[in-house]
Amino acid sequence: MIPTLKLGNWNVMLPVASRRREALRQYTDLANADVWVLTETHDGFSPGHPYHHSSAAGRDGLHKTEHRWVTIWSRFPLEPLVTSDLERTAAARIYPVSGPPFIVFGTVLPWLGSPWRGYSSRGGIAFQAALNVQAADWVQVRADYPDDEFFVIGDFNQELVHPRYYGSRANRSALQSALSEACLVALTADENDPIRRDSAPCACIDHICARRDSLWTAEQTVRWPNSPVPIRSLTDHFGLSVTLTRRDER
């Protein structure tokens, strides 16, 4: 049984240039996560893990085959799972060297001003429509694999702290309800938000969520770079990780 599990999450904002890929790789090497969910990513960038699974190629109007909304990278072998939104989500069942498999669901939800599948961005319509589709997948995965640990990770484009940083009250309420209905909890919300803790007034809009009854306990949440705001020459998002310890290993 692996005693700890480290999950990383970073929106890398389409790292096309080799110089930026090298700079990003310095941070991912230092973070040393077992599993990564990279969003707004590019096939030319890798955190160095041997196994990966991506969403469909392209990003809305960007149809270049090397662009991805989501790529899951893992130290351990993985089995891709089908999702209902092939462009903005990806999911995989991951098989660690010891212990039972677990599932990671990677996501990008629409940001303020972003339409989705013809839904208007006005009033959070696109956000909530996309969330409804993804949340149905979360519930289905829980039903199909009831014994598996389940993590939903990615760019939710919505904070889960007070005072408000980005998103809207309506989108926050919808996200909280969707997580609750799937019996999930955000490990990067409220007092566990490493960005609000270390780079206030910024806050996480990228989250790592787990089963409410998970056997894994979050021991540490970390954000990078160590700066008041993201380093925009890298990406306009902080990266973050959660280190988990199994309750029966403590």
CATH label of the domain that carries residue 97:
3.60.10.10
pLDDT in tens, 131-167: 999 999 999 999 999 999 999 999 999 999 999 999 9
Q: Which range of residues forms the domain containing residue 42?
A: 4-249
Q: Which single residue is written with the structure tokens 């909280």?
A: 176
Determine the 3-state secondary structure of 191 from DSSP: helix
pLDDT in tens, 215-243: 999 999 999 999 999 999 999 999 999 99
pLDDT in tens, 205-215: 999 999 999 99
Cα 111 to Cα 20, 42, 115, 199, 227: the distances in Å are 24, 20, 8, 21, 24
What is the distance of C-alpha 148 from the center of its chain? 18
pTM of the model: 0.96
What is the domain count for the chain?
1
